[in-house]
Amino acid sequence: MTDSDIPASARRTTAQQSSPTLFSAVGRSYFPIAFVARMPFAMIVVGVLTLVVAGRGSLSLGGINSAMVGLGTALFGSFIGAAADRWGQRYVLLVAGILNCAALTFMAWVVFSPLPDFVVFIAAFAIGATSPQVAPMSRSRIVDIVMSVLPLARRPKVLNATMAYESAADEVIFVFGPFLVGLLATFFTPVAPIIGAIVMTLVFVSAFALHPTGRARQTGTSSRLGERAPAMDMFTAGVFVIILGVFGVGMVFGSTLTALTALTNDIGRPEEAGLIYGVMGIGSAVLAISVALFPSAFALWARLLCFAPILVAGSVILASTESMPIIVMALLLMGTGIGPSLVTLFSLAAERAPLGRSATVMSMAGSAIIVGQSVSSAINGILAEDQGTAVAMAVPVAASAIVLCAGVLNLFVGRRRDRNPDKPTRQRVNGAEEEI
């Protein structure tokens, strides 16, 4: 029997069975390790806030230190990603992890020392500046593996599903991280969350760095061509709207948690803030995973314009009530909007990352989350203390509006890109093709 005697459908089935899958390419241990390895990054803002408030007795000082963490991440997060693009993720992550553990250890000591406050600021800045960018580097690995190993026809669907998973993982981590900080600080000491972050960094960030998927210096399209796009290719309107949108999502995280803490403190049940906040994370993670089921005809620009208004509506309801059942419903509605929005933003980042600059762009987006979270936590903490809970509850509305503005700007950016189709890009994910 020759190949011509075999039905076409049977040949396609055989080819699909013999072709590699994402799980076979990355291994079974990859996703659990990558999931836990991003936990310290989600703990540091609230962990530093908790530690400084306990050690120095000042809520405003704690908020400023949280902002310093965000500032360090904002200034150095993209450089860590750029270093990974140049020298490979393995060495960069190992060095960053060691430096971050040293900064966390210094913070745990200096807060209770007689040294002045500006030394504490330096420690907080160093923590943010050395934070290993696990989540964006995980996305970068997945994008490169999908674009280089999987068959062309399967790439868009697999990439969409993995971006949905990665965003859902971030949702869970950024909700569970503050909860874990509160748990450790309550049952042990305020230093316990910092110690926990050090241990998880040493074990899981190192495991993520040493995983076989991090061995290659460059993968995917960039390795095949042996070149990278100029750094200026990252500073475009298309990348800017992504960073703006992700920054808005981070502001939603930080401002909502701070507002709920102020609200529950007013009613004498401050310990319930984390549990109530988790409602938003549950809805967000579920909807983020469901993005994998969206049809390809549901374009990325349309998804962002569809779900960002839902986020705004939920935040408006949250700001206009003091009824706990309505607050829970508002958080569920916010989660419905925020999950798909975050998935869409990172899918856009994967699509618009210039050749060989995937880790850098993903790190810029990942840093924007922590910057937004830390800035909004600091601002909203001060507002809650000086202006009252009602004002603090309105900040998530402004944060949600930033996400919506990014969606509107992205529509215009997309139309301009459509009018200039010959401009080279790293890859066209939704179109199931690569362009150079």
Q: Give the residue with greater pLDDT, 424 vs 203.
A: 203
Judge contact between 306 and 253, C-beta under 8 A. no
Please write the tens of the pLDDT for every residue from 133-148: 888 788 778 877 877 7
Q: Is the pLDDT of residue 272 over 80?
A: no
Please write the tens of the pLDDT for every residue from 38-85: 888 878 877 887 788 778 777 667 777 877 887 888 788 778 877 887
The answer to the question of residue 434 being in a domain is no
Confidence (pLDDT) at 15: 46
Confidence (pLDDT) at 219: 41
Q: What is the pTM of this model?
A: 0.70
Average pLDDT over residues 369-383: 81
Q: What is the mean pLDDT of the chain?
A: 77
Could you give the number of structural domains in the chain?
A: 1
CATH number (domain holding residue 233): 1.20.1250.20
Q: Is the pLDDT of residue 434 over 60?
A: no
Q: Is the pLDDT of residue 264 over 50?
A: yes
The answer to the question of residue 429 being in a domain is no
Confidence (pLDDT) at 125: 92
The answer to the question of residue 20 being in a domain is no
**DSSP codes, 228-270:** ---GGGGSSHHHHHHHHHHHHHHHHHHHHHHHHHHHHHHTT-G
Confidence (pLDDT) at 355: 64
The answer to the question of residue 275 being in a domain is yes
Confidence (pLDDT) at 74: 78
Please write the tens of the pLDDT for every residue from 220-253: 444 444 456 655 666 677 788 888 998 999 899 8
Confidence (pLDDT) at 369: 81
The answer to the question of residue 427 being in a domain is no
Burial 5-32 (b: 16+ CB within 10 A, else e): eeeeeeeeeeeeeeeeebeebbeeebbe
Q: 58-66 long-range CB contacts below 8 Å, 24 or more apart?
A: 59/381, 59/385, 60/381, 60/382, 60/385, 61/117, 61/120, 62/381, 63/377, 63/378, 63/379, 63/381, 63/382, 64/121, 64/378, 65/120, 65/121, 65/124, 66/124, 66/374, 66/377, 66/378, 66/381
Judge contact between 389 and 318, C-beta under 8 A. no
Q: Give the residue with greater pLDDT, 246 vs 171.
A: 246
The answer to the question of residue 60 being in a domain is yes
Q: Give the residue with greater pLDDT, 37 vs 377.
A: 37
Q: Is the pLDDT of residue 3 over 90?
A: no
The whole domain housing 115 covers 31-419
Helix (H, G, I), strand (E, B) or coil at 433: strand
Q: Is the pLDDT of residue 171 over 60?
A: yes
The answer to the question of residue 74 being in a domain is yes
Q: Is the pLDDT of residue 349 over 70?
A: yes
The answer to the question of residue 430 being in a domain is no
Q: Is the pLDDT of residue 368 over 80?
A: yes
Q: 155-159, 337-341, 352-356, 375-379: lowest mean pLDDT where?
A: 352-356
